[in-house]
Chain A
């Protein structure tokens, strides 16, 4: 492998890693607010993208509108997940909600499979035919678009969290739920809105994955769930900046090892990275100290 291949693989990985970052943010935001893992998050993200192409099948839509519908649909599905798996299930039992979301993941996946017979569905993309080349170095136009769109989504999220009353309420619930309630903040409403916001991000991520591959398939659900959880752990559970950096890093890391060691070893190194963080930096990238027992 020469330097060009090295930079090429890292750059491709960084661009694609922005999708992992979006997924990771969703996992980490829910964990930050509710201290729960929503394993159905990836499935909801892909389901949102499926809803958008179902709508587009009836009404021809520009790609951007299709992406927007995916985000909205996923936000709606995320709200339903909140109601089904969190709102009416005793939160004191961590396993109850975890297993409920596993069930929801399988349910959503099978609904998609039954609706499409598992057949790949073409998904619209923007700038899919643009490929920018400098000699042997090249960049995919659609991945650049995805990267920029993901960055915009992250900036909007950060603005919402740190500059709006909803964001303040969300952070208050994440930090001190009891105090937040005493201050008049509704836990249920804040939790539900957090699910909807993460759903919007997830739907966008699902649409971006569909756009980058050009095809939607239920096969996408498990990989993005696994990658989202890895990003969430490496970034630090509950840390949004950590999820962003970890998403980009995991994308670059896996693409480098794909080019350097091949696809059969790629995921081994990603898992090794996860173990390294769990052992040496369990609090994630931005943790202040090695917070181990």
Chain B
């Protein structure tokens, strides 16, 4: 009798212990996390870019986790967890940050903000996957903001989800030529010491506008922290161009626009740099920027884009053409991780990184906030875009080329 009681008690105890282990096992499974590292400029004059990227990343990861997280190779679900680092828009800091990320459990790095960081940073990644003689870092880096053309080809571990400015401005100048056939000439203004703005004028706007039939009459140059644009705008005024294309970031764009107003330089049309289609420009010089046309790969015009904008606002940031790319990146990564079957346990970091890289490299098309995004063999994106213009202190949609 006692024996049978003991047996039953033992059985119950065994069941309890078993259930406990099972529960613990489930708990362990539920506690698995996929470590994501974000990095960008959160100090210095481009601090707002890093803040926006972090806010959008946080919002996107929150959305993924709310939907159950990421399905791992063993069928369990794992939550995404974000760590965000400040690279100060400085190449040395950026490289240092990436080395720290590479030494952590993060399976992918999302960033950086600045092209002058991205270019050298991609250089410390292994150039060709599987090259035993190359001791470069082996972690996929997926860039949301650094936009200077053609950087992803530096390494097979580098990927970008930034707009293709060459295509955007080619199409924009073609569209302007159709809409305003009376305009014949273009004059450029360029912030000469910033990688992105310099590249976009010299290699994009200046080359794409003649393809649409425009004559480039000249260019004025200034530096990122210049304070006096009198001479440059006077040169601009002398040229009497129909279109003035300003390839500069918000601070100097505003300085130049205010000087243009002062000197009564009134071109028929103003074209701006993609990075200036932000609140910074409107905050600095909404009145003078009125009418400026900028191609952008983000506007809250779809349900997904609105959700991204709301999530960014909830995390005290703003979704714009740069930061919104981070939302798309998180969603792309979730799909790639699930398709590639990552393990997300402590021992599988290197293998998971390789799986994610391979998955990203094989992508041909992904979903984006404005529509389908094409992926190139060089790790770049070809994103849908819109033309916006400044109107009464807001960015309003001027034209959707896909329509």
Contact = CB atoms under 8 A, between A and B. Distances in A.
Q: Which of B51, B221, B255, B258 has the most CB of A within 10 A?
A: B258
A259 interface: yes
Interface string A124-150: 000011010000001010110000000
A263 B226 contact: yes
A137 B250 CA distance: 29
A114 interface: yes
A224 B227 CA distance: 10
A142 B45 CA distance: 26
Contact of B234 (A8, A114, A209, A224): A8
Contacts of B234: 8, 138
Contacts of B280: 119-120
A223 interface: yes
Interface stretch (B4-12, B152-160, B259-267, B371-379): B259-267
Nearest to B230: A12
Contact of A113 (B43, B222, B254, B283): B43
Given A140-B262, A215-B254, A219-B251, A119 B227 contact: no
A9 interface: yes
B47 interface: yes
Interface in B285-299: 285
B225 A220 contact: yes
30 contacts: A16-B228, A113-B44, A114-B43, A117-B48, A118-B44, A118-B48, A119-B284, A120-B280, A120-B283, A131-B262, A138-B234, A140-B230, A140-B262, A142-B262, A212-B227, A213-B255, A215-B251, A215-B284, A217-B45, A217-B225, A219-B224, A219-B225, A219-B251, A223-B225, A224-B227, A262-B221, A263-B192, A263-B222, A263-B226, A264-B221
B223 interface: yes
Interface of B: 43-48, 51, 192, 221-228, 230-232, 234, 250-251, 254-255, 258, 261-264, 279-280, 283-285
A213 B227 contact: yes
Nearest to A263: B221
Given A122-B285, A129-B262, A220 B250 contact: no
Nearest to A139: B230
Given A122-B284, A263-B223, A219 B45 contact: yes
A258 interface: yes
Interface string A184-209: 00000000000000000000000001
B284 A129 contact: no
Contact of B258 (A9, A214, A217, A262): A214
Given A122-B285, A143-B230, A263-B223, 5 more contacts: A8-B234, A117-B48, A131-B264, A140-B230, A223-B225
B47 A114 contact: yes
A268 B313 CA distance: 44
B220 to A, nearest CB: 8
A121 B192 CA distance: 22
Contacts of B44: 113, 118, 218
Contacts of A263: 192, 221-223, 226, 232
A178 B376 CA distance: 74
A128 B224 CA distance: 22
Given A119-B48, A217-B45, A264 B192 contact: yes
Contacts of A8: 231, 234
A12 B285 contact: no
A214 B48 contact: no
Contacts of A129: 261-262
A255 B228 contact: yes
A120 B222 contact: no
Nearest to A5: B234
A122 B43 CA distance: 20
Contacts of B224: 219
Contact of B45 (A118, A121, A224, A258): A118
Contacts of A223: 225-227
A220 B255 CA distance: 12
Contacts of A157: none
A259 B225 contact: no
Contacts of A128: 258, 262
Residue of A12, A213, A222, A262 with most partner-chain B CB within 10 A = A213
A22 to B, nearest CB: 14
Contacts of B222: 263
Contact of A255 (B46, B221, B231, B285): B231
A122 B264 contact: no
Contacts of A217: 45, 225, 251
Interface string A90-131: 000000000000000000001001100111111000001101
B253 to A, nearest CB: 9
Interface in A3-20: 8-9, 12, 16
A224 B228 CA distance: 12
